[in-house]
Amino acid sequence: MMTLSVNAQEETQQSLLPINEPLTENTGSFTNAVLMTGTNVSGIVATGGKGTATLSLDTDPDAEGVQAYAVAENEVVTFSWVSYQGWVNSKVDNVAILNSEGKTVAGYSYDLNGCSITDVQIGGETAPLFEAFSDQGYVGSKSANGWVAKTGQAYLADNANNTVVTVKVYGKGYVEINLKNEKRSIDKTYSTMLPDGFKVDLASLNITNVSANADRSLGINQLKITSDESTVKFVDYTVNRMLGETVLDSYTATNIEGATITLPQAPWYDANGQKYIYMDDDVNGTLAEGAVYNITYKAAEKYAWSMNAVDGEGVILKENVATGETFEGDNVTIGFPRYVRVEVAATADAPADTLLYSTSAISSQYRKDVAITENNQVVNITYAATDKNHVVYYTEAEDISSYYLKELTTSNAAVRASQGRAAYLDYDAQLVKLTAGVYNVTAGLFDASKGYETSADTVRFGFNRAVALEFAINAVNLSEQTKELVVAKDGYLSWMKGGNANWGLDYLYIQKVSDEVPYVEVSNIADAKALTNGTPVALTLTGAKVSLSSVTNDGEIFSPSYSYIEDETGSMALAREVASSLTPNIVRNQAYTGTLYGSFAFDTYGRPIFSVTAKTASSALEATPCEIVPTEVAVSDVNTEEGFNSYYGKYVQLTNVAWGKKSDDYSNDYYLIATRTEGEGETAVEVSDSILFYDGFYQFPASLPNFLSFKSINGFVEKFYDGTITFYPFGANDPVVKSAIPVANIGALKDVPEGEDIALTLDKAVVTANVMGHSGSVMLLEDATGGIQVQGSNAWFGTEGLSDALGLTRDSLEISGTVYCRMESKGMIALNDSTLERSQYTVNPELVAVNPTVVDLNKVLDNNYLNRLLKVNKLSIANKEVESYGYVNIEPYFVQGTDSVGIYDMFQKLEYDASYNPLEIPFIKSVTGIIIEGSEETDWSPATPNTLAPLAIEYVVFKNFADNEIFIPTADAVAQAVSEGWFEGGQTLNNNKNGTIDPTTGLGCDATRMQYAGVKKGNAAKSVTVYVTGLQEIRGFAASTSSTDNRALEISAENIEDNSVSTAIADNAPNVTSVATLALDPEASYIVSFNGVDESHVKGADVALFGIWFVKDAKTVGIKDINANENISNMFNAEVYTINGVKVRNAGQGLNGLKKGVYLINGKKAVVK
């Protein structure tokens, strides 16, 4: 035993170890544990049910929390115990040693069904080279049955018959696990270093049981925990898995120097699931640092297998009951059905028949474990004939084809269900067509949870969409029930939705008992409805009245699914085909007498629907005209299940019912509401009864009037698709309709609630937009107070809207008068039943100008601009990534400065790349569009609650000149530049003003009449704007057009990147040219405008723009190269101009007195220093 230092913590730890607890008479230091007795073993500690039994390794119980045992660097702590298996079950239990962080230092998992070690963990990860292996506790010749003391099945006490587990934890982080079962010849050791940073301390030993049953858990006894000094040295070694000369996998492990290494000889599966079979290894001697070992494998082949059902003599009854493929040598568990359906040929003594053969479970399981040792291996299961004949249908539930089928996930199904599987449905599935006759239907039912004890787990089958059979489960796991089904008319049997992961259907088979259909004779509807669902019935009618028929009159747009018929005892529905199958056809407002052969099918909504069989003669009924008076009922009489059953199919009348509407995120429903008094005197209270209203027989216009109430309304009770009891109006009604609300102008519509009828006064309202969107037209109507969207036609449904009714067929039309319509939704008016007959208005046949409202981008989402035609100038298009339901979408936005608004391209005005992502455009001159109301969501297009849908986009081209270029504003030059998209304006062209600088050379000249474009600030007709990029300078040559006033040319350039504006101004006198020069950034793009201003540079004034220089390179602008032979004296005899074109010397005056700078002399640039 190791001697520890006298450190207080170490003294405490020393007092903890050793631990030596036999665990044969009590649970020792374990908590949440029980002692299992009743076997040959004195006692075994287990959890006693689902949970974890814990042995705490707390070195200081007085301190808060567990003070884990810290393993010293030169220490090894050894755990050992004997492991015992509980009763065979489908769970996997776990034994683990945990550190103070709750991580697994060492542990293993045991499958109590396969009786195998399925995982060994060190440091929270599967140990190197581990492969699952069988390790069943030894119980003599019997299988393991846990702690139950059954004769011949109790455990043997000798440790050699059970698995002894030894775990060594070294302070240096090395862990070794050994599992030894002498009788099974098992001796496996796994070891490795703990991961970096893993705390080498010991907090607890845990036994975790998954099963809720005490006798089905893993257990241990003979626990010992000791501490010793460790002097061993750890070394690394490498293991290669080899296929011939190819390295399949390589792993570096750690072990004790001098240890004998044993490599696994079990098959190995790589990461892709390929199996390799062990052939040999080269382990020789003991372990040394850096050793490399090779395990040689061969690749396993894939073997096909199949299972046949055979009789006692080996004759095949059914081939390929199950098929599959696996690797050679693999063990497979094959599920097989409890029954097989076998066709038996006719003999001299018996006709042909279809029988069921059955087989018994193997150890309670309809599964067989088979080792696949050869390709195309055949496994036979023996079946014996049963007395179940005339079998027309057999299926295993899990073999039924349905998208909504789900298999039970309870582990009980695997070990107790036929074929080891069972299933349930989330939606009905059609199974088989049955002809008329009598059948025995047998269902194999499965319920692992005993849910039938509290929740009435029931498997249901329907016939022709109505519930026909109900099997209430009354036993745990697999049970079988048989019920009779009488089929009066050919139809389809379906398995109806129901079940969950714990209960459902295992299998189903159907035997035909008789071809004869027994009819029960009744003389009225009430007696027929009282019979069991599906019972064949001969129903004699006497003067039964039909109030609604599936055979309708010409021109009627409704087409009922059923016909409704009633007599003095009750009412019902006739299946759709009944009315048209008899001669003459059954129609409404007729009374019928005669006998119908058929059956009732109460469908899933509880509606009694009568179908006739072939035994009903086509002329079975005699008809006489009749008047059908509706039965007056209260809402409370029909809005319950009992009331629905009583009045379904009967023509009824509700009186004095109010009109209500309920709207939420999912519905927009109408109700009829009746108020009544309940109780008497002071205790009396008013109660409101309501019933859902649905115009299923098209008795009203598509846009329902704004009812306040009905004095009376006739119709039928039905059920909506979700099962809600609903009133379907039919026939006469006496409504009270709400008057239309007068609205003075479009702006006042914002105060009108949705759904209200209105009388809207229009005063020269103009259609500003009429365009086709994705599914229909979009029309905007504006007056001086606001805008509104007008309901248009719908291309999907081919319907007309309010715009069609008013004759508003295009934009630029003007309408005045009073229009009756519906406030359909926020921002839209729509057609209602008063529009055509009450509206009084005129549409001006002359088209009027449509001028969009110009706003900044940050204003377009203001409610004041909703449904107006808007125009935004100077903006760009940028894309943003928007996440939606885990996906990232590219959404386009208009951007102006720091403001942005989502784009909804419903009119397809954007440009897209090959991947259909919108193109980003750095500058757009303008966008004209409308605001489309969108969702409050922000993660789908429309990207924001309201988005801008462009109707027109004005693009421009930023001209990038190849070289310095001079532009003279002639008519041809202006037209060419405008067509190229980079020039705007130049509408006022003339040649009657003098200039004193030639704009083609930049040199002074005598006053000469020149071609020019008139420019004046603030005058759109006298403007010049250019869109340019890549320039160092831009120059404008201009003169005042006045004969007396001095004026100036202003050049203004806006950088589209940062919206900064720079300006240059050149003053000029009448008939004297001046040059304005503005420096630009060649990397930027600009909007450059040329304006004429007065002498104060404030007001606009007429100026003649003679030319524009686009300066790509300022060093060479307007100058020829000076060669070495140039006569410099000639330059001094020439006129001298500033770079801006102002003459400062006449010819021959020389350069004396000039300021330092750059000048133009003889058309060349010279520098005065």
pLDDT digits (tens, 9 = 90+) for 849-879: 998 999 999 888 787 788 889 999 999 999 9
| 1009-1067 residue pLDDT tens | 999 999 999 999 999 999 999 999 999 999 999 989 999 999 999 999 888 999 999 99
**Using 50, 70 and 90 to split pLDDT, how confident is the model at 797?**
very low
- Torsion (CA) 51, 57, 59, 63 in degrees, nearest 10: -10
Summarize the confidence of residues 777-784 as an average pLDDT: 88
Q: Is the pLDDT of residue 1125 over 50?
A: no
Q: Assess contact for 649 and 728: CB atoms under 8 A.
A: no
Q: How far is CA 682 from CA 674, 677, 848, in A?
A: 21, 12, 69
Residue 1085 confidence (pLDDT) above 80: yes
Q: Any residues with CB less than 8 A from the CB of 503 and at least 6 apart, and which? A: 408, 424, 445, 446, 447, 448, 449, 451, 452, 457, 473
Cis amide leading into 584 (omega within 30): yes
* Residue-wise pLDDT tens digits, 167-211: 999 999 999 999 999 888 899 999 999 999 999 999 999 999 988
Sign of the dihedral through C-alpha 636, 640, 642, 648: positive
| 656-664 contacts, C-beta under 8 A, 24 or more apart | 656/709, 656/710, 656/711, 656/712, 657/709, 657/710, 657/713, 658/708, 658/709, 659/707, 659/708, 659/709, 659/710, 660/690, 661/755
Q: How many whole angstroms separate alpha carbon 672 and alpha carbon 594?
A: 38
Place of tokens 């992961």: 501
Whether pLDDT at 655 is above 50: yes
> In this predicted structure, what is the pLDDT of residue 150?
45
* Residue pointed to by tokens 């129903």: 539
Q: How far apart are CA 506 and CA 525, in angstroms?
A: 39
Quote the tokens at residue 252: 């570096």
The answer to whether residues 1159 and 1168 touch, using CB atoms and an 8 Å cutoff, is yes
pLDDT at residue 10 is higher than 70: no
Q: What is the DSSP string of 797-808?
A: TTB--HHHHHT-
Looking at residue 170, the DSSP 8-state letter turns out to be: E
**In 335-436, where does DSSP find H-type helix?**
411-416
Domain extents in the chain? 8-232, 236-299, 302-385, 391-514, 520-628, 632-737, 741-844, 853-954, 959-1118, 1129-1168
Q: What average pLDDT does the segment 267-288 reach?
A: 91
Q: How high is the pLDDT of residue 350?
A: 84
- Residue with more model confidence, 379 or 552: 379
Query: For residue 1026, what are the CA distances in angstroms to 688, 1034, 1054, 1065?
Result: 73, 11, 11, 17
Write the pLDDT tens digit of every residue in 361-387: 998 899 999 999 999 999 999 999 999
Q: How confident is the model at residue 799 (pLDDT cuts 50, 70, 90)?
A: low
Separation CA 156–CA 162 (nearest Å):
8
Residues 118 and 131: beta-carbon distance below 8 Å? no
pLDDT at residue 447 greater than cutoff 90: yes
State the pLDDT at residue 1132.
54
Query: Which run of H or of E encompasses 1169?
Result: none
Give yes or no for a contact between 721 and 584, defined as CB atoms under 8 angstroms apart: no
Q: Share the mean pLDDT of the chain.
A: 88
pLDDT at 708 over 80: yes
Peptide bond into 942 cis (omega under 30): yes
Compute φ and ψ for 251, nearest 5 degrees.
-145, 135
What is the rounded distance in angstroms from the CA atom of residue 533 to the CA atom of residue 484? 12
**Which H or E run contains 10?**
helix 8-16
The hierarchical CATH code for the domain 959-1118 is 2.60.120
Alpha-carbon span 83 to 79, nearest angstrom: 13
The larger pLDDT score, comparing residue 452 to residue 916, is at: 916
Per-residue confidence at 1, pLDDT binned at 50, 70, 90?
very low
Residue with tokens 């056809």: 585
Q: What is the pLDDT of residue 1036?
A: 96
Give CA–CA dist 1154/1168, Å, rounded.
7
Q: How many CA atoms lie within 13 A of 230 on its CB side?
A: 23
Burial of residue 769 (CB within 10 Å: 0-12, 13-18, 19+) is buried
Determine the pLDDT at residue 937: 38
Strands (E), 57-101: 69-70, 75-84, 92-98
38 or 126, greater pLDDT: 126
Which band of pLDDT confidence, cut at 50, 70 and 90, is reported for residue 87? Answer: confident
Average pLDDT over residues 1140-1150: 70
Query: Looking at residue 936, what is its pLDDT?
Result: 43
Give the separation between CA 1041 and CA 224, rounded to whole angstroms. 114
Q: Which two tokens stand for residue 826?
A: 């926020």
The yes-or-no answer to whether 391-514 and 741-844 have a common fold is no
Residues 1034-1044 have pLDDT tens digits of 999 999 999 89
- Whole-prediction pTM: 0.56
Report pLDDT for 783: 95
The reported pLDDT for the residue numbered 1117 is 56
The pLDDT confidence band at residue 140, using thresholds 50, 70 and 90, is low
Q: Which residue has the higher pLDDT, 887 or 790?
A: 790
The answer to whether residues 1022 and 1015 touch, using CB atoms and an 8 Å cutoff, is yes
d(C-alpha 362, C-alpha 385), whole Å = 18
Q: What is the pLDDT of residue 11?
A: 63
Q: Which CATH code for domain 853-954?
A: 2.40.50
- Side-chain-side CA neighbours of 1089 within 13 Å: the count stands at 16
CATH number of 8-232, picked from 1.25.10, 2.60.120, 3.30.160, 1.20.140: 2.60.120
Average pLDDT, integer, range 572-585: 91
**pLDDT over 80 at 246, yes or no:** yes
CA–CA distance, 791 with 623 (Å, rounded to integer): 48
Q: Which two tokens stand for residue 925?
A: 């001159």
Highest mean pLDDT among 132-141, 401-410, 773-782: 401-410
Topology of 520-628 in CATH?
Answer: OB fold (Dihydrolipoamide Acetyltransferase, E2P) (2.40.50)
Averaging pLDDT over each range in 220-224, 356-360, 935-939, which range is the top one? 356-360
pLDDT at 206: 95
How much is the pLDDT for 151? 46
Question: What's the CATH architecture for 391-514?
Answer: Sandwich (2.60)
Q: Reduce the secondary structure of 462-490 to three states and give it as a string.
A: EECCEEEEEEECCCCEEEEEEEEEEECCC
CB 309 within 8 A of CB 318: yes
- Architecture of 632-737 per CATH? Beta Barrel (2.40)
Cis peptide, bond prior to residue 1082, ω within 30 of zero: no
Residue 340 has pLDDT above 90, yes or no: yes
Q: Does the structure show a pLDDT above 80 at 517?
A: yes
**Mean pLDDT comparison of 701-710, 790-799, 812-821, 1114-1123, highest-scoring range:** 812-821
What value does the mean pLDDT take over residues 970-976? 94
What pLDDT is attached to residue 138?
A: 65
- Residue type at 939 in one-letter notation: D
DSSP 309: E
pLDDT at 796 over 50: no
Q: Does domain 741-844 have CATH number 2.60.120?
A: no
pLDDT tens digits, 1126-1140? 444 455 567 777 766
Mean pLDDT for the stretch of residues 242-247? 94
3-state secondary structure of 767: strand
Contact criterion met (CB below 8 Å) for 68 and 205: no
Here the tokens at position 1154 are: 């000039």
Count of C-beta atoms within a 10 Å radius of residue 244: 10
